[in-house]
Amino acid sequence: MTEELRLALVVSDTPKAMAAAEVLANDHPWVPLEEADVVVVLGGDGFMLTVLHRMLDAGRVIPAYGLNHGTVGFMMNKPKSTKHIATRVAKASKLAVAPLEMTCTTWAGETQHFYAINEVSLLRETRQTAKIEISVNGKVRLAELACDGILVATPAGSTAYNLSANGPILPMGSGILALTPISPFRPRRWKGAIIKDNATVEFRVLEPDKRPVAAVADQKEVRDIAHVRVAAHREHTLTLLFDRHSSLDERIFAEQFQV
């Protein structure tokens, strides 16, 4: 099985990752990404997101196995092992991750689409507090939220920006998303919501000329938005590969007991 597995190697441009790539160069007969069954990613979480987005944009998604040569490495595996890389990949556990699709319309009427693996964030552009209307499945749930911003986080992204904004940690496979306000001013007591991942969330920017808002899908930003629609994009579900006993769902579970 390991002999038949076609692996591509994608490497961050950091010195640490490039040094690791030199070590792995002769460990496997690597193939180009477009011919591979699995992509091995050397770098950190940010680079892993870049590679996953690259595949989503290209319309060809294959499983990704990350080796941490970055900082946190939440989505990655530990790099040290005496096992052949193809053996590690073949024995790895699979974790499905459904990205979000953000569809946003600007003041000028331009519509853009981007994917988010961690979260979609709306953020005020100026010193003026943003005012945002929130609808879920076509029904207005909050007529006006005055805030610095708001985000929709997946379980995979719930320990990132969402957690820093005091949002909940979501277990993988829970079928839910976190709707988390960022520095809410009014209503002060609204702490956010947990919604099913098949829900469609829409945001309408109020007073956009006076209170401009930007929308960010992971690493892609669109400024001066008027309306944003967020829904799960299941046509291209991503697959992350983890060594046994070190999967992302276990790490997310462990985060809930950090003190």
Q: Which residues are marked as active site?
A: 45
Which residues sit in the known binding site for NAD(+)? 45-46, 118-119, 148, 156, 159-164
User: Comparing C-alpha atoms, which of 100, 228, 222, 202 is closest to residue 143?
Assistant: 202
Residue 94 and residue 172 in contact, taking contact as beta carbons nearer than 8 Å? no
**Close Cβ partners of 227 (under 8 Å, ≥ 6 residues apart):** 104, 105, 202, 203, 204, 205
Give the burial class of 98: count Cβ atoms within 10 A of its Cβ; 0-12 exposed, 13-18 middle, 19 or more buried.
buried
Q: How far is CA 98 from CA 31, 138, 237, in A?
A: 26, 22, 5
Helix (H) or strand (E) holding 50: helix 45-58
The encoded tokens of residue 205 equal 């920017």
Query: In whole angstroms, how far apart are CA 8 and each of 26, 38, 42?
Result: 13, 6, 11
**Residues 189, 210: contact at Cβ < 8 Å?**
no
Helix (H) or strand (E) holding 196: strand 193-196
Binding site: what residues are annotated?
45-46, 118-119, 148, 156, 159-164
Let me know: does 158 contact 170? Beta carbons within 8 Å: yes
H-helix or E-strand containing 94? strand 93-97
